[in-house]
Amino acid sequence: MEKDDIARYLHQLSDALGRMQVRGELCLYGGAVMCLVYEARPSTKDVDAVFRPVQEMRDAAKKVAEANGLREDWLNDAVKGFVVQHSQRILFDVPHLKVYVPEPDYLLAMKVLAARVEGTDRQDVEHLIKIMGLTRAQEVFAILEAYYPNEQIRPATQFFIEEIFERP
Residue 73 CB: number of other CB atoms within 10 A? 14
pLDDT tens digits, 74-118: 999 999 988 999 999 999 999 999 999 999 999 999 999 988 767
> In the Cβ-directed half-sphere of 30, how many Cα atoms lie within 13 Å?
24
pLDDT tens digits, 125-168: 999 999 999 999 999 999 999 999 888 888 889 899 999 998 76
Domain boundaries, given as residue ranges, for the chain = 3-102, 105-166
Q: Can you list the alpha helix ranges (DSSP code H) found in the chain?
A: 3-19, 31-36, 54-68, 104-114, 121-132, 137-147, 155-166
Question: If DSSP codes are grouped into helix, strand and coil, which group holds residue 120?
Answer: coil
